Amino acid sequence: MTAAQQSGGTPIAATPGTGSGAFEPGTGTPIMLSARGLKKSFGAVVAADAVDIEVPVGQRVSLIGSNGAGKTTFVNMVTGYLKPDAGSIALDGRQIDGLGPRRIARLGVARSFQIPQLALEMSALDNMLVAAACNDGELSFWRPARSPARRERAMALLERFQLAEHAQRRAAELPGGVRKLLDIAMALTGQPKLLLLDEPTSGVSVDEKFPMMDTIVAALASENVTVLFVEHDMEIVTRYADRVIAFYSGRVIADDPPQAVLEDAQVRRYVTGSLRPPGGAAC
């Protein structure tokens, strides 16, 4: 069973622009993720302050901002790792704020990590099979994890990420860029509705980052998945995002197509530029 086929969470009322049956004004595209009035503080540090974000189905959105701006806090609230102090989050019309990471994963939210989270002593193929097994829902006591059908599916996904040659190698032996791709491939095994990528090219050399993003985008092309990716590299953002959301001090300061955001005065000042007021960091 794919995540998209599973149900759970509490349906929320359909209102213009949010929730079940909601569509993006102008384009009529259904809304996949809707965050309303999200607030999160850690003591005196405000990591999210009235964050309102809506992401239509199929869009590729980049989250940018300096360290501590609130990007990762937002991702952690969407994936259930953090519970918002106030506000609501809806996925495809179902309220998910307050649910745990496991429940949210089953509703169709998958993520990759800045530092790839793999079973290092297992082969790349076994890592994929673990991901497939977890996405099954029921953990069978007797059905073989390495059945031909499962292996075939896992290998097909590895091939899409150009990882087939590494299938039998231990994850611990793989180079950093390959681990990143494997981490993302694992996240895709359950055919998620929403995929969150945390700095997919961090730690990857300048020469490798574009080919790697090309591979990721090509692999995602056949999936009807909405993507949010946290990124610091503005070249990557410009080239691969449909839309950019800029965070500063827990707030959204710009939300538009890449060129418009990167030319925004506040973004130039607080995110890409060098003029920053003292004490503005959060998260």
Partner 1 sequence: MADRSPRAASVTATALAGLGLLLALLALGFAMPGWLLLLSTMAISHGVVSLGIVLLMRSGVVSFGQGMVFAAGGYAAALAANHLGISDALVLILGGGLASALLAAPFAPLLARYRGIFFAMLTLALSMVLYGILVKSAALGGSDGFNVGRPTIFGAEIAAENANFTLYALAVVIVGVLATLSRIYGDSVRGLVSMAIRENELRVEYLGASVTSAIAVNFVFAAFLGGVGGALTLLALGHIDPAFSYWTASGEFVFVAILAGHHSMLAVFVASFAVEVVRSFSNLYFPNTWQLAMGVFLLVVIRFLPRGLGSLWTDRRTRAGARA
- Torsion over CA: 14, 18, 21, 22 (sign): positive
How many Å apart are CA 51 and CA 102, to the nearest integer? Answer: 24
Under rule CB under 8 A, residue 118 binds partner 1: yes
CB of 121 to partner 1, least distance (A): 6
The phi, psi pair for 108, rounded to 5°, reads 115, 20
Residue written as token pair 């800029």: 246
Under rule CB under 8 A, residue 117 binds partner 1: yes
How many Å apart are CA 234 and CA 204, to the nearest integer? Answer: 15
Which of the stretches 18-26, 66-74, 115-123, 201-209 binds partner 1 when contact is defined by CB under 8 A?
115-123
Under rule CB under 8 A, residue 70 binds partner 1: no
For the chain, report the end-to-end CA distance as a whole number of angstroms.
Answer: 36
Determine which residue in the list 4, 130, 164, 281 makes contact with partner 1, applying CB under 8 A.
130
How many Å apart are CA 175 and CA 165, to the nearest integer? Answer: 13
Q: Taking CA 20 as the corner, what is the angle to CA 222 and CA 225, rounded to the nearest 5 degrees?
A: 15
How many CB atoms within 10 Å of residue 133? Answer: 18
Under rule CB under 8 A, residue 27 binds partner 1: no
Which of the stretches 20-28, 61-69, 121-129, 262-270 binds partner 1 when contact is defined by CB under 8 A?
121-129
Under rule CB under 8 A, residue 7 binds partner 1: no
The phi, psi pair for 211, rounded to 5°, reads -55, -35
Instruction: Report residue 12 CA to chain centroid gap.
Output: 22
Which of the stretches 22-30, 61-69, 145-153, 212-220 binds partner 1 when contact is defined by CB under 8 A?
145-153
User: Which residues within the stretch 34-63 sit at the binding site for partner 1 (CB under 8 A)?
Assistant: none
Determine which residue in the list 27, 44, 142, 207 makes contact with partner 1, applying CB under 8 A.
142
Under rule CB under 8 A, residue 129 binds partner 1: yes
Which of the stretches 38-46, 53-61, 118-126, 208-216 binds partner 1 when contact is defined by CB under 8 A?
118-126
DSSP string covering 244-274, please? EEEEETTEEEEEE-HHHHHH-HHHIIIIISS
Under rule CB under 8 A, residue 26 binds partner 1: no
Please name every residue paired with 82 in a beta bridge, in sequence order, or none if there are none.
none
Under rule CB under 8 A, residue 133 binds partner 1: yes
Binding mask 74-113 for partner 1 (x = CB under 8 A): -----x---------------------xx--xx---xx-x
Q: Which of 228, 237, 242 is nearest to 193 (CA)?
A: 228
CB of 59 to partner 1, least distance (A): 22
Under rule CB under 8 A, residue 4 binds partner 1: no
Please name every residue paired with 94 in a beta bridge, in sequence order, or none if there are none.
11, 91
Q: How crowded is the C-beta side of 255, counted as CA atoms within 13 Å?
A: 9
* Interface residues toward partner 1, by CB under 8 A: 3, 79, 101-102, 105-106, 110-111, 113, 117-122, 126-127, 129-131, 133-137, 139-148, 151-152, 168, 186, 190
